[in-house]
Amino acid sequence: MKPGTLRRCKELGVFFIFLGGIHYAYYKIQNNDSLVPKHSRQELFYVKWIKDAFPSLKDKLGVKKD
């Protein structure tokens, strides 16, 4: 194993955990009726792209459409 590879893996792990936390918090807020009215909810750009690219995931990801 090259020197620095372990450090790079740790940094990438922390980065992805951070992004996952941001994603989770954003959708927790967006799906909370007392914080964001249903007509004002928005998707993150990459979730819109995933839903367009994979129609079978439309009901499983992102803001709930009730």
Q: What is the pLDDT of residues 12-62, one digit of tens each?
A: 999 999 999 999 999 899 888 899 888 888 888 888 888 888 888 877 777
Q: Which of 11, 23, 15, 14 is nearest to 50 (CA)?
A: 23
Q: What is the pLDDT of residue 58?
A: 79
- Whether 11 has a pLDDT exceeding 70, the answer reads yes
Q: What is the pLDDT of residue 4?
A: 81
- Check: pTM over 0.85? Answer yes or no: no
**CA distances (Å), origin 55, targets 3, 13, 31, 36, 50:** 43, 29, 21, 25, 8
